[in-house]
Structure 1
Amino acid sequence: MTKKTDATRQTDAAHPAGTSTYTLAEVLEILAGGRLPLRFTAYDGSSAGPPDAPLGLDLKSPRGTTYLATGRGDLGLARAYIAGDLDIDGVHPGDPYELLKALADSLVFTRPSPRMMLDIIRSIGVEHLRPIAPPPEETPARWRRIAGGLRHSKGRDAEAIHHHYDVSNTFYEWVLGPSMTYTCACYPTDAASLDEAQENKYRLVFEKLRLKPGDRLLDVGCGWGGMVRYAARRGVRALGVTLSTEQTRWAKRTIEEEGLSGLAEVRYGDYRDIRESGFDAVSSIGLLEHIGVHNYPSYFEFLQSRLRAGGLLLNHCITRPENRTKAAAHGFIDRYVFPDGELTGSGRIISEAQDVGLEVLHEENLREHYALTLRDWCANLVEHWDEAVDEVGLPTAKVWGLYMAGSRLAFENNGIQLHQVLMQKPAGNEAGRLPLRPWWTP
């Protein structure tokens, strides 16, 4: 039996079950158990929550009600917000972190009694329970993406990467800053800037891989070529590969402008099409999330095959804090941000790497660093909000603010983590030996 709060009992008394009609605000109060942490107003003239609360939501249209009623989990809220049917108050759309935090900390939905649920349905209207077309920024459900091929086939992976990474290089320059690095930074101090932290991350990867002038590095999922250029500036011959045409174009131009063409190369293509081998090191920074858990064995086998004996592999990716949850993402993240993305725990990653013969040497969790990285990306989006909206449109800019602020909260709350795992292809001789105790400064 559902436990009733004082607010629910008061609503019951005012509206006897089976005969009642509720306003939209009353419906929300019932579902929230009378514990709304913010102001809520709706197009039917009703309101709920503390009237002097600094944060608020405004439901502006019947279409928004349909989105909220038919979207499972966070998808309904996202659809209404992105479509412009739900406004937020008290926070900037480029960084709605404080509003999301208030909702996560205080809002717990309760299940009404069956009779009250019938009254709620009658009040909002049965017509609002029929799904409608989502905003055009949303990708189809996973089962409808089969036209692009099976999940994690080369064609479908290319479509997923295009959806997220080919938004606009100009937009990414505003959000990511001069480093054009779209992966977790490593902050040497609390006062470090985003660019200092990204440079420090590349230094950490470089030193973990024990790279030196004349070595060969393969960087899979290389983005805009940040790791490739960092290594090339230090005399390493670096090859990067990405499935984003926009990233490839930007990286090629920047490599030429920086005079690194003799050492650095970025190619458009799937990492599985790399034919060269014998690399001294492989870096994979932010790629594994797009691979698919069932592909981990072939992924690690392939990267190991590109290494010389004794070569090193560093895998840097977002993970879950445990290894039991189903890997596939759902809701807002899958439909608007990373189609077909999958996350699992660091234990699963390490096991799969070991099972193909790689020796795991070191691993660490940079969870708190990713929360700081997202904080700084949101600050950049807020600073360049008007230009970003002009470049990609208001709905897409909203998606990014919502996604980054929500991800920051997830990293802070240990809902997700960021692990770096360092591995070695066994050498069987002295040529592949590392120091007895490698030491890396942060």
Structure 2
Amino acid sequence: MTTDVSVKLTIADALGKLMKDGIPFRFEAFDGSSAGPVDASFTLRLLNERGLSYLMTAPGDLGFARAYVAGDLALEGIHPGNPYDAMVLLMSQLKFKVPTAPEMVQIVRSLGFGNLKPPTPPAEEHLPKWRRALEGLRHSRKRDAEVIHHHYDVSNRFYELVLGESMTYTCAVYPTLESTLEEAQFAKYDLIARKLDLQPGQRLLDIGCGWGGMVRHAAKHYGVKALGVTLSREQAAWAQEEIKRQGLDHLAEVRFLDYRDVTETDFDAVSSIGLTEHIGVKQYDEYFGFLHDKLKVGGRLLNHCITRPSNKTTTTGAFIDRYVFPDGELTGVGRIQVAVQDAGLEVRHVENLREHYAMTLKGWCDNLVENWDECLEEVTLGRAKVWGIYMARIAARLRAQRDELHHVLAVKADEHGDASWPLRPTWGS
């Protein structure tokens, strides 16, 4: 059938032309048009011209995020703190098709050429990559500090409300399906401590320590002298205060410091929990080489990070890059193991905690919903919406095995191959 480009489409009609299998949700636009099932579980409501311009100038998740964060695209029927059901439906049923050239001309003419001028992005959006390049090379010290500041130095109180008592922003380990988030975070730290075989009097280096959860756990429960470093000034200040409050300052310390500036060596163990995502795949060899040099012979390394099912280097997507983890990169666990081995460490155990991370994210979303009003006293509505959609989206990706989360446990053997390793794992489940 020939497309008559002179026929003007409504916004809903134009959206329908881009859908391969129809619109799986209810859609309503400011021009009065609508589409999709009337009994859908949620409704996407496009409120104004600016929202339309966001969608037209950045098709995909970036345009959606801009319109949603700015308040020009409303998600009705689902709490903004936990839009998990919407993310699952959009990921599983939303399928786009490539329009023909005449169809594209008809769509653009109908929606207005003026809407191809990009509006100013919401304040919550970070700089595009080309602008970040003006701040320094990718994963340079200056640029790493800036992107960490963008995500983590928001409000410690906001993080307390979302993350819970443990102030832990990494995947938990659930002993049972009924375990609470706090129980699961304790179990995660304890599992890592046992995998590292921590003993009283030993020294632990925790790279990218966040608010110091692993540092405090190792000191309090294992009698370990623990040093944590983070690029977030707010995290370091909170962590040091909590260390003193718990009377652990004779064993535990958190520094506001780039990990590359740690001068101490001969650690019995090194933990890297949720930092590899920020390092950059091209920096893996240097990173794991640095950790190798920090360990004494017989020392262990535990690397905990989000991974992809494929070992091909992948970016995190436009939404995550602009709103959540600028410059973040993910790849498969195989690529991580190669880098660990090439650094001279021996990989002894690998574990996938994919389902545990989906459960962790659900716990954070539940906290965000429960504390929504107080969260809005700490951050903008746009920032809170970013968190809701980001956490729900990653949870949905984990459930669908589009993302994973792995522990890689390695040891620094001596020159004769003696790794001081037991015949069977001793850390249990």
2:352 corresponds to 1:365: yes
| Structure 2: distance between partners of 1:99 and 1:431 | 52
Q: What does residue 50 of structure 2 align with? A: 63
Hey, what's the Cα distance between the residues in 2 that align with 1:127 and 1:19? 17
**2: CA distance, partners of 1:389 / 1:228:** 30
User: How far does residue 25 in structure 1 lie from its aligned partner after superposition?
Assistant: 0.8
The residue number in structure 1 matching 2:302 is 314
Query: Gapped runs of 5+ residues in structure 1?
Result: 1-8
Would you say the 8 A contact 2:53–2:119 is kept in 1?
A: yes
1:222 paired residue number = 209
2:225 corresponds to: 237
Q: 1:423: which partner in 2?
A: 410
* Residues 169-208 of structure 1: pairs in structure 2 closer than 5 A: 169-208=156-195
Give the distance between the partners of 2:204 and 2:185, measured in 1 at CA: 19
Structure 2 gap ranges (5+):
none
Matched residue SS, 1:265: strand
Distance 1:294 1:55 in 2: 42
Alpha-carbon displacement from aligned partner over 1:141-188 (angstroms, at most 9, x marks no partner): 111112321110111100011011111100000000000000000000
State the partner residue of 1:284. 272
Take 2:126 and 2:279, find their aligned partners in 1: how far apart are those partners?
Answer: 18
SS in structure 2 at match of 1:372: helix
1:259 aligns with 2:259: no
Say whether the 8 Å CA contact 1:320–1:343 is kept in structure 2.
yes
Corresponding residue for residue 332 of structure 1: 319
After superposition, the C-alpha distances for 1:283-314 in whole angstroms (9 at most, x for unaligned) are 00001111111111110111111111111001
User: Using a 3 Å threshold, how does the CA distance of structure 1 residues 148 and 28 change in structure 2: closer, same or farther?
Assistant: same
Q: Shift in Å at residue 420 of structure 1?
A: 0.4
| Cα contact 2:21–2:95 (8 A) shared by 1 | no
TM-score, length of structure 2 as denominator length: 0.97
For 2:399, give the aligned amino acid: E
**Cα distance in 2 for residues equivalent to 1:329 and 1:99:** 20
Which runs of at least 4 in structure 1 moved beyond 2 Å after TM superposition?
A: 326-330, 428-432, 439-442
Listed as ranges, the matches of 1:8-407 within 5 Å are: 17-33=4-20, 35-233=22-220, 234-324=222-312, 326-407=313-394
Q: Determine if contact 2:53/2:117 at 8 Å carries over to the other structure.
A: yes
Cα offset, 1:73, TM superposition? 2.6
Distance 2:310 2:11 in 1: 38
Question: After alignment, is 46-55 or 150-159 more displaced?
Answer: 46-55
Moved more, 127-136 or 330-339: 127-136
Query: C-alpha distance in 1, partners of 2:419/2:38?
Result: 67
Q: Is the 8 A contact 2:413 2:420 kept in 1?
A: no
Query: What is the CA deviation profile of residues 67-103 of structure 1, one whole-angstrom value per residue up to 9, with x for unaligned ones?
Result: 0011143100000000000000110000111111111
% identical aligned pairs = 57
CA distance in 2, matches of 1:431, 1:99: 52
Alignment-mate amino acid for residue 26 of structure 1 = D
CA distance in 2, matches of 1:430, 1:302: 20
Contact 1:72 1:331 in 2 (8 A): no
2:278, 2:104 → 1: CA distance?
40
Task: String of CA shifts for 1:202-254, please: whole Å, max 9, x gaps.
Answer: 01100000001011000000000000000001210000000001100110000
After superposition, the Cα gap between the structure-2 partners of 1:431 and 1:229, relative to the gap in structure 1 and judged at 3 Å, is farther
How far residue 111 of structure 1 moved from its aligned partner, in angstroms, is: 2.1
TM-score of the two chains, using structure 1 as the length reference: 0.95
What is the CA-CA distance between 1:20 and the residue it aligns to? Answer: 0.7
SS in structure 2 of the partner of residue 266 of structure 1: strand
Using the TM superposition, give the Cα deviation of residue 128 of structure 1 relative to its aligned residue in structure 2, in angstroms.
1.0
For 2:302 and 2:370, locate their aligned partners in 1 and report how far apart those are by CA, in whole Å: 34
Query: Shift of residue 133 of structure 1?
Result: 1.5
The aligned length equals 428
- What residue in structure 2 maps to residue 3 of structure 1? none
Q: Conserved in 2, the CA contact under 8 Å of 1:179 and 1:195?
A: yes
Report the 3-state secondary structure (helix = DSSP H, G, I; strand = E; otherwise coil) of the residue aligned with 1:22: coil
Deviates more, 1:130-139 or 1:275-284: 130-139
